[in-house]
């Protein structure tokens, strides 16, 4: 959480950085889903979302 905020401060404005961060996560999950199947991707997504909060 702290690291993400710190990066957000470095790159001008937290909201845009957060949106970009979510997009990167979404893309990663989509790739996981395409290659490994939905259950693995949804588990990874849940894990990452819980870590981020």
Confirm whether 1 is domain-assigned.
no
Give a yes or no: residue 32 inside a domain.
yes
| Residue 27 belongs to some domain of the structure | yes
Total domains in the chain come to 1
What is the reported pLDDT for 7?
Answer: 61
Q: Could you tell me which of 51, 52, 29 has the C-alpha nearest to residue 42? A: 29
pLDDT at residue 49, as a whole number: 81
Domain containing 47: what range?
21-53
Alpha carbons 14 and 7: distance in angstroms, whole number: 8
**Domain contains 46:** yes
25 in any annotated domain: yes
Residue 5 corresponds to which tokens in the numbers above? 């905020």
Q: How high is the pLDDT of residue 30?
A: 81
Q: At what angle do helices 38-52 and 14-36 cross, to 10 degrees?
A: 160
Q: Please state, in angstroms and rounded to a whole number, the distance separating the CA atoms of residues 29 and 36.
A: 10
- pLDDT (tens digit, 9 = 90+) per residue, 1-53? 556 555 656 655 566 677 788 888 888 878 877 776 566 667 777 888 888 76
Q: Give the model's pLDDT for residue 21.
A: 82
Query: What are all long-range contacts of 3-8, with beta carbons under 8 Å and residues at least 24 apart?
Result: 4/52
């Amino acid at each position: 959480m702290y690291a993400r905020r710190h990066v957000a401060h470095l790159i001008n404005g937290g909201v845009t950085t957060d949106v970009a961060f979510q997009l990167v996560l979404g893309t990663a999950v989509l790739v996981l889903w395409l290659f490994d199947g939905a259950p693995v991707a949804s588990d990874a997504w849940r894990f990452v979302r819980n870590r981020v909060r």
